[in-house]
């Protein structure tokens, strides 16, 4: 299940997670983001219990967006133990997202 995170909850949701975290930086006006949405949801379902999957709306959460230098969307990042490990920019295939979490 894909969850939502915000500037206020990002530290607890992502940085303090004991599981790997995939976070999708997106915006509702972004066409490629809308295409990525169902793919991200499928990844979340396949990784349930093994990883957490969040979405962060960049328009509503400028602090986190700025902190991680997100300027192109969709941008997907994978965090482990509170540190950003991988960054994928642009629409990717499901296998790419799954592989990033392995």
Active site residues: 30, 33
Pairing mode, if any, of strands 3-4 and 21-26?
unpaired
Q: H/E element holding 40?
A: helix 31-46
Neighbours of 31 (CB within 10 A): 9
* Alpha-carbon gap, residue 30 to 14, rounded angstroms: 23
């Amino acid at each position: 299940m894909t969850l939502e995170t915000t500037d206020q909850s990002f530290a607890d949701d992502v940085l303090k997670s004991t599981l790997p975290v995939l976070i999708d930086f997106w915006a509702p006006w972004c066409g490629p983001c809308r295409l990525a949405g169902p793919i991200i949801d499928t990844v979340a379902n396949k990784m349930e219990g093994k990883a957490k999957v969040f979405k962060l709306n960049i328009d509503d959460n400028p602090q986190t967006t700025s902190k991680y230098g997100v300027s192109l969307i969709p941008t997907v990042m994978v965090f482990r133990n509170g540190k950003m490990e991988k960054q994928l920019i642009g629409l990717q295939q499901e296998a790419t997202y799954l592989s990033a979490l392995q």
